[in-house]
Homo-oligomer: A and B are copies of this chain.
């Protein structure tokens, strides 16, 4: 019989145990920050009706990347981010939730993207949102950015520092109006600016859409800076003031690593105001680590109630997995998940040793037992060594007769007979 492949599908992540412990440790720390900030964890379905996921108003790239399928007569698909499910959930629970409602999700999402560094087809992402009915003050935009910076900071010992770049969708809308572009031109230009870094002949592409003269104005945004447009139109002024205020509020809150970058757009079509993206300062080659922004009507597909909000996502797989794969994270503190390996010499001693194991575990000591009791001592101690156990508790006929265990410190090699109670004390002290 032909053997089936043991590798996961391209773009799907599989970690070794120590990597997984590092991932889990970081993910827990990040979530602790959100819990302390009063965000409610939501766990929403990974599968949604296709009609909920797809949207003719959705002009961004995601439409081509979805995993869609049928089961029975129902068309459905896998979630690609947390926003669609959240909109549906909140619209369906308007009376069950207290607004402003703080929510976070930590879930797997699915996108059939082309493979590149840091992009996966299945990835863990945190989605963080603050939602209000009808109105929500701009203060929340600052609070969410400050909170996310603390989220990243909670794992900075592993991934280094992060900075945030702030843009404003209103600036571009005002600009398109100022340039008198039609809807089609606006949309095409938007997509172009969003991908500016990746397009080598950016200027030519802009000229093709809006002509020479207007393209020069676009060029000026990047060359002379967005501030050179102060006074050009009321809407441009408002948008610029909003960004400046936002940065000032952040600075007042002690945020030092925030700056305006007018080319920050965020791909999704639902953003309407301030948008922001997080970048690694230690690894500038990494893609944006996360980002988000303000939306003015989240759940219009699901409810007549106007739900406004500010939301963001943090790509946890994208942040951690490439660094682990490239050995840029020191995993030594995650190599070990066991305090004591109980080794059993002879099957007649298995039951006694299983009771020892139970007592150690009940005292919160991470304990495994090697229960192939007919194996030689050499094999058993090798096992304790390989799993990097701190101690081996060796149990043979003598130990059972005297109701003790022989506790060996795997680092020093020191070995001593003692009662289970003394084992507990010894292991806990170390």
Q: Note all chain B residues with C-beta closer than 8 A to A211.
A: none
With contacts A9-B74, A9-B76, A12-B47 known, is A137 near B42, CB below 8 A? no
By a CB distance below 8 angstroms, the chain B residues around A23 are 43
Flag the segment in A191-199, A218-226, A249-257, A410-418 that touches B. A249-257
> Which residues of A from 90 to 125 have beta carbons under 8 Å from B?
91-93, 96-98, 100, 102, 108, 110, 112, 121-122
Q: Do A354 and B7 have beta carbons less than 8 Å apart?
A: no
**Smallest Cβ distance from A414 to chain B, in angstroms?**
22
Stretch at the interface among A279-287, A290-298, A299-307: A299-307
Q: Which of A13, A43, A51, A112 has the most CB of B within 10 A?
A: A43
Contact call B21/A41, Cβ cutoff below 8 A: yes
Q: Does A232 contact B (CB under 8 A)?
A: no
> Are B76 and A71 in contact (CB-based, < 8 A)?
no
A294 CB, min distance to chain B CBs, angstroms:
13
Of the 9-residue stretches A140-148, A258-266, A270-278, A395-403, which lies at the interface with chain B? A140-148
Total interface residues on A, using CB and 8 Å?
Answer: 100
Residue of B16, B17, B301 touching A3 (CB-CB under 8 A): B301
Q: Which of A155-205 contact B (CB under 8 A)?
A: none
CB-based contact B40/A20 at 8 Å:
yes
CB of A37 closer than 8 Å to a CB of B: yes
CB A28 to nearest CB in B, in angstroms, measures 10
Beta-carbon contacts of A58-75 to B below 8 Å, as 1s and 0s?
Answer: 000000000111111010
Contact yes or no, B347 A137, CB < 8 A: yes
Minimum distance in angstroms from A151 CB to a CB of chain B: 11
Give the chain B neighbours of A244 by CB distance below 8 A.
none
- Please tell me if the beta carbons of B7 and A38 are within 8 angstroms of each other in the complex: no
User: Which residue of chain B is the closest to A77 with respect to CB atoms?
Assistant: B69
Interchain CB contact under 8 A, A367 and B253:
no
A371 near B140 with CB under 8 A, answer yes
- With both chains docked as a complex, state the minimum distance between the C-beta of A20 and any C-beta of chain B, in angstroms: 6
CB distance from A158 to the nearest CB of B (A): 17
A358 within 8 A of B: yes
B301 touches A35 (CB 8 A): no
A325 at the interface (CB under 8 A from B): no
* A49–B355 touching, CB < 8 Å: no
Sort A-B residue pairs by CB-CB distance and give the 10 closest, nearest first.
A6-B92, A69-B69, A38-B368, A139-B371, A17-B40, A12-B45, A98-B386, A252-B351, A137-B372, A6-B91
Given contacts A5-B88, A45-B122, 18 further A-B contacts (CB under 8 A): A4-B52, A5-B302, A6-B88, A8-B45, A12-B47, A13-B43, A17-B41, A20-B43, A21-B40, A23-B43, A38-B368, A100-B372, A139-B372, A142-B354, A143-B354, A146-B358, A252-B351, A254-B358
24 contacts between A and B (CB under 8 A): A3-B301, A3-B304, A8-B45, A8-B88, A9-B74, A13-B45, A14-B45, A15-B42, A21-B40, A33-B361, A35-B366, A37-B366, A38-B338, A45-B122, A67-B69, A67-B71, A68-B69, A72-B112, A108-B108, A249-B351, A249-B354, A252-B351, A252-B354, A254-B358
**Residues of chain A at the chain B interface (Cβ within 8 Å):** 1, 3-9, 12-17, 20-21, 23-24, 33, 35-38, 40-49, 51-52, 67-72, 74, 76, 88-89, 91-93, 96-98, 100, 102, 108, 110, 112, 121-122, 132, 135-137, 139-140, 142-143, 146, 150, 249, 252-254, 301-304, 337-338, 347, 350-351, 354-355, 357-358, 361, 364-374, 383, 386-387
